[in-house]
Structure 1
């Protein structure tokens, strides 16, 4: 992707009637509940037929995971995104100094380019970059030193011998003297207005907002079929979930790859935890302390997605483990805000949905090819129109409200879209189940 693009255009969106978040929340639930009742009514023959095979309680448990709950969640997502209106920034060009933390482990090949894109930011206030070399075995230090000499950047290089990203970030946190701190992965490239968009959202938000998550897109989408599929996952799937969570003021992951935090908030919760999903657990700790977490779709960064299924499975199993870590430390009912209780409650159901999908739906799909519709039935298809509607509306939003303003264009990737729609969940659910099992048995996982 060509990242030599113009900065963010001004927002000329007209003012619209304000609808309180609580009203949006309950209207969306009302629509989703109506869809659930309709789904149950339509599926009664399927439910009764399947009950004759496996018993009514088991049939209800399996069909709920296959059709009822996904349908409810999709309906809730669609109506919520229909109501989503990002408030205007109060300051388009903030003047608050910011520190960027970059934890680097063997990043000699990529760190200079990352710093180069940081130097091209249109942010008018001071940017202090802290790179923490986390006991690299290559010439990461030399690459940072050379980049600092040729780029117009204030770069501090630190060293952390203890392996682990959380050690590196906490080492950098000790040297942060600005009110805001941004974490950035060493192989992530920023849109020219990315930092400005993050800070503008933060300074335009209520005082109880502790973090703002940026929007991640795939840079290497042409590298393989795997990255082609992931391009649509980031563009549609992850972006839609982030928008939903941001609307309800509880983005569940202010991802370490590119997010902004109030320095005092991170310090108040003890910095980054010793966890596989250190960014997930940190975000949940902020939410537990009544700090809200927003999402800014215009703060775009580009990352390299795994190019092979093996690497993809390794990454997503770590994400699944991180989610379980968050649920283990802070239960959904322990969060103070009703929105966050609901959003984390969805995560509490994910192992159940993924396990049923893996051990029942996939075999049921095979049976359906032979005319045996015990598990995969007609009602399963009711989820598809909602999914297509949600992805279609999000595509238009991303294209017109995000990409157009950022000077980006949506590249043609039809094969990736087909793979995403048909194959993505077939891969994701088994991988997530493996991640849950890894966390259950405490298998070793290292940052690499």
Structure 2
């Protein structure tokens, strides 16, 4: 329903979450209908060369479905008016878990950033040294003299991130549990912001994902490109999903959880994508997972193609693991289930891009526009609108936090033009890893 409210003589329309969902869905469907209509000639011509089924697979995978997703996201973000956070009269105690494996170069900065928080409530920080072969444990031990809230749990053998977190969880003293990566740096009010968002969100909320940004963006062109992925793509996805009551990944890099809910779902599962599988367990149990867009953590992104590809393989494999472990989530009658089905389409899109768009682009260079041609430009209007919306939203948030959007034109150019040529083939490799049941390792983040 739509109703009006008066606030200091200013009237505005209020759209319920369900109405926003309906409007975004109808708008996306209209755009998709238009895209299908203008793609008829393209579909006919391509069918003559590769058959109707293959033509549908490729055209829908590289143009029609991405267009639907972009238009739905853009319309959702236009209508997103989340309530502002408010200061609390009492800030509860929190426990921070940090799983660390060979993090001697960064663990000191991570702990210093926690100290700079000046969080008003009680604080317990547990670093779980997961069998590191460097000086991680020694550095944490030395810092215990300085930080009274710091505890070291030193595990002799490396057994993976999920195991480390579960071991640390046994020592938790507070009802709110935060996880952060060992090579990260918290913005100075990140803990206050994420706790406020968690406690002011709907009562069935059991986890809230923070915002992850790239800390080492100046290292090389790859990290410069990833800066835009985190700033625009990942942030927008979480913001949109939280609008509809179900962020699909409360990432282990920085999220807050309810201790009792973690116990209920059995803690972190022993798998590659432990954070996404845990999040889906919470959603499957009927809980809501939110997102705090102004609780910022800066993390080190992969600096080499090899590590980047392995990271995205692991993310894609984690999604497959989540479907396998929680298939019943597909029949949950809630708005967030829409995005579960949305994720089901990703293997289709990644395969179509890898084995259709990339070869089609090569053919286009030789004058054959069967797959990539003028019709693929139908994606551009909604992609441009979505990017502009994302940028304006994130820039406004940065301004509120006294942060500045760094000028990074080279990274933006690669992000727009070539990023998918790395991202989507890497995701295909992740799907293959799960299908072929290759060995699962923690590796790097």
Post-superposition offset of 1:88? 2.0
The answer to whether the 8 Å contact 2:217/2:227 transfers is: yes
The equivalent position to 1:125 in structure 2, one of 116, 121, 125, is 121
Q: Which residue of 2 aligns with 1:173?
A: 169
Q: Could you tell me how far apart the structure 2 residues matched to 1:92 and 1:403 are?
A: 22
- After superposition, the C-alpha distances for 1:188-231 in whole angstroms (9 at most, x for unaligned) are 10001000111000110122101000000001001011001000
Q: 1:16 to 1:40 in 2, by over 3 A?
A: same
Query: Per-residue deviation at 1:92?
Result: 4.8
Aligned-partner Cα distance in 1 for 2:398–2:248: 24
8 Å Cα contact 1:288/1:334 also seen in 2: no
Matched, 1:446 2:441: yes
- TM-score normalised to structure 2 length: 0.95
Is the Cα–Cα contact under 8 Å of residues 91 and 204 in structure 1 kept in the other structure?
A: no
Q: How far off is 1:332 after superposition? A: 6.7
Say if 1:335 and 1:408 are closer, same or farther in 2 by CA, change over 3 A: farther
TM-score, normalised relative to structure 1: 0.94
Q: C-alpha separation between the residues in 2 aligned to 1:85 and 1:110?
A: 37
Tell me by how many angstroms 1:339 deviates. 1.9
- State the Cα distance separating 1:55 from its structure 2 match: 2.2
Q: 2:54 aligned to 47, 58, 73, which one?
A: 58
- 2:415 corresponds to 1:420: yes
Candidates 197, 208, 215, aligned match of 1:212: 208
Query: 1:371: how far off?
Result: 2.0
Is contact 2:175-2:260 (8 Å) kept? yes
The residue aligned with 1:283 is 279
Instruction: Write out aligned runs for 1:113-192 (5 A).
Output: 113-151=109-147, 153-162=148-157, 163-192=159-188
- Partner-residue secondary structure (3-state), 1:149: coil
Distance in structure 2 (CA, Å) of the matches to 1:390 and 1:15: 27
Return the alpha-carbon distance in structure 1 between the equivalents of residues 193 and 101 of structure 2. Answer: 28
Aligned to 2:3: none
- Equivalence for 1:352: 348
Query: What is the DSSP-based 3-state SS (H/G/I as helix, E as strand, rest coil) of the residue aligned with 1:156?
Result: strand
Provide the secondary structure at the position in 2 that maps to 1:428: helix
CA distance in 2, matches of 1:428, 1:94: 43
Question: How many angstroms apart in 2 are the aligned matches of 1:265 and 1:293?
Answer: 12
Shift of the 108–403 alpha-carbon distance from structure 1 to 2, 3 Å rule, reads: same
SS, match of residue 18 in structure 1: strand
Q: What is the deviation of 1:331?
A: 2.6
Which structure 2 residue ranges, 5 or more long, are not aligned? 1-9
Work out the CA distance in 1 between the residues paired with 2:177 and 2:283.
18
The alpha-carbon deviation at position 176 of structure 1 amounts to: 1.1
From 382, 399, 403, the counterpart of 2:398: 403
The equivalent of 2:196 in structure 1 is 200
Q: Cα deviations across residues 114-137 of structure 1 (Å, max 9, x unaligned)?
A: 100000003211111011111111
Q: Matches of 1:54 and 1:185 in 2, distance apart?
A: 47
CA distance in 1, matches of 2:342, 2:263: 28
Residue 61 of structure 1 aligns to a residue in which SS? helix
Aligned residues: 434
Quote the offset at 1:159 in angstroms.
2.4
Report the CA distance between 1:395 and its aligned residue: 0.7
**What is the deviation of 1:19?**
1.4
Q: Which runs of 4+ in 1 moved over 3 A?
A: 14-17, 90-94, 332-335
Which stretch shifts more, 386-395 or 89-98? 89-98
Any gaps of 5 or more consecutive residues in structure 1? 1-13
Q: Tell me the SS of whatever aligns to 1:296.
A: strand
User: Is the Cα contact below 8 Å between 1:49 and 1:374 reproduced in 2?
Assistant: yes
Contact 2:100–2:132 (Cα < 8 Å) also in 1: yes
Task: Give runs of aligned pairs for residues 191-340 of structure 1, distance below 5 A.
Answer: 191-331=187-327, 334-340=330-336
Deviates more, 1:248-257 or 1:93-102: 93-102
Instruction: Tell me the residue number matched to 2:388.
Output: 392
